[in-house]
Structure 1
Amino acid sequence: MDNVSNIIKEIKAGNVKPIYFLMGDEPYYIDKIAEFIENNVLPEESRGFDQTVLYGKDVSIQDVVGAAKRFPMLGEKQVIIVREAQELSRNINELTAYVENPQPTTILVFCYKRDKLDGKLKVTKALTKQNYIFHSKKKYENEVLKWMTGVLKTKKLTIEPKAAALFIEFLGTDLTRISNEFDKLAILLKPGDVITVDIIEQNIGFSKDYNNFELISAISTLNVQKSYRIINQFSKDPSANPVLLTISALYTHFKRILTYHALPNKSNAASVLKMSPYFVGEIEQAAKLFPMKNTAKIISALHRLDVKSKGVDAGNISHNDLLKETLISIFENVKK
Structure 2
Amino acid sequence: MAKQVAENIQTVLRRLQEGDLLPVYLLTGEENYYIDVLSDFFENKVVDEVSRSFDQTVLYGRDVNMDSVVGMAKRYPVLGPRQLVLVKEAQDIRDWEPLMSYLDKPAPTTVLVFCYRHKKMDKRTRLFQQLKKTGEVFDYQRIYESQLPQWITDYVESSGYTILPGCALLLAESLGNNLSLIANELSKIFAVLGEKGAVTASVVERVTGISKEYNVFELQTAIGRRDVVKCNRIVNYFAANPKSNPIQMVLPTLYSYLVRLMIYIQLPDKSDAATALGVNPFFIKEYANAAGNFTLGKLASCIGYLNEADLRSKGIRNAGTVTDGEILKELVFKIIH
TM-score by length of structure 1 reads: 0.84
Distance 2:132 2:277 in 1: 31
Distance 1:259 1:107 in 2: 51
Distance 1:204 1:231 in 2: 20
Match of 2:104 in 1: 101
Q: Does 1:37 align with 2:45?
A: no
Per-residue Cα deviation, 1:28-85 (whole angstroms, up to 9, x for no partner): 2222222222333334433321111112333334433333333333344321222233
- Cα RMSD (Å): 3.0
Q: Work out the percentage of aligned pairs sharing the same amino acid.
A: 37
Q: Equivalent residues in 2 for 1:131-280 (5 A)? A: 132-141=136-145, 143-153=147-157, 155-280=159-284
Per-residue Cα deviation, 1:144-176 (whole angstroms, up to 9, x for no partner): 434434443455432233222221122123222
Aligned equivalent of 1:49, options 54, 60, 63: 54
Aligned equivalent of 2:325, options 303, 317, 320: 320
Distance 1:81 1:286 in 2: 53
Q: Report if the CA contact (8 A) 1:4-1:29 is conserved.
A: yes
SS in 2 for 1:315: coil
- How far did residue 212 of structure 1 move? 0.9
Which sections of structure 2, spanning at least 5 residues, go unmatched?
none
- How far did residue 221 of structure 1 move? 1.0
Per-residue Cα deviation, 1:223-271 (whole angstroms, up to 9, x for no partner): 1222122122212222222111111111121222233344444333323
Q: Report if the CA contact (8 A) 1:20-1:109 is conserved.
A: yes
Distance 1:248 1:27 in 2: 24
Distance 1:165 1:243 in 2: 18
Aligned equivalent of 2:88, options 83, 90, 109: 83
Counterparts in 2 of 1:12 and 1:309: CA distance versus 1, 3 Å: same
Q: Report if the CA contact (8 A) 2:65-2:95 is conserved.
A: no
- How far did residue 321 of structure 1 move? 2.4
Counterparts in 2 of 1:48 and 1:140: CA distance versus 1, 3 Å: same
Q: Report if the CA contact (8 A) 1:65-1:98 is conserved.
A: no
Match of 2:311 in 1: 307
Per-residue Cα deviation, 1:97-121 (whole angstroms, up to 9, x for no partner): 2575362332222223344334455
Q: Does 1:15 align with 2:20?
A: yes
SS in 2 for 1:3: helix
Counterparts in 2 of 1:79 and 1:229: CA distance versus 1, 3 Å: same
Per-residue Cα deviation, 1:117-156 (whole angstroms, up to 9, x for no partner): 3445554444456673212222345644344344434554
Q: Report if the CA contact (8 A) 1:95-1:123 is conserved.
A: no
Distance 1:120 1:62 in 2: 23
Distance 1:207 1:263 in 2: 33
Distance 1:192 1:73 in 2: 42
Aligned equivalent of 2:293, options 282, 289, 296: 289
Of 294-303 and 309-318, the range deviating more from structure 2: 294-303
Aligned equivalent of 1:28, options 29, 33, 38: 33
Structure 2 residue identity aligned to 1:231: V
Q: Report if the CA contact (8 A) 1:181-1:204 is conserved.
A: yes
Distance 2:32 2:123 in 1: 20
TM-score by length of structure 2 reads: 0.84
Q: Report if the CA contact (8 A) 1:149-1:159 is conserved.
A: yes
Counterparts in 2 of 1:265 and 1:119: CA distance versus 1, 3 Å: farther
Counterparts in 2 of 1:247 and 1:118: CA distance versus 1, 3 Å: farther
Counterparts in 2 of 1:4 and 1:157: CA distance versus 1, 3 Å: closer
